[in-house]
Amino acid sequence: MEQAAARFAQPTIACLGLAFKADVGDLRQSPAVEVVRRLAAKYGDRVVVVEPYAPDLPPALAQLGARLAALEEALAEADVVALLVNHRPFSAVEARSLEGKAVIDTRGIWR
């Protein structure tokens, strides 16, 4: 992700999904939370998180400046889009929403 973000002077990174697995709201032991934590530690409030199954960010992520947003808002702002969890709503993202962005699809749903 660092390589993708390096293409932009002040990148905004949209991280899609925090949950342990698709279509649930359980964030316990989720690798995605650690990925977002590391990004937020470096990029702060330029990290936008979309998690449709959780009403709030974990405090540790919010304290680093990461913020929760709706999918459409995050995609509009993002320079880099990282799909971390394959929640159903993310499979409906249209290709035109990703044009001009660095896309990291860790789940293989946008191929």
Task: Note the pLDDT tens digit of each residue in 70-90.
Answer: 999 999 999 999 999 999 999
β-pair type (13-16, 67-68): unpaired
CA quadruple 9, 14, 19, 20: dihedral positive or negative? negative
Of 48, 58, 60, residue with least CA distance to 84:
48
Q: Per DSSP, what are the bridge partners of residue 25? A: none
pTM of the model: 0.95
CA triplet 54, 37, 16: central angle to 5 degrees?
45
- Taking residues 34-56, report their average pLDDT: 97
- Taking residues 47-57, report their average pLDDT: 96
CATH architecture of 2-105: 3-Layer(aba) Sandwich (3.40)
pLDDT of residue 6: 87
pLDDT of residue 111: 77
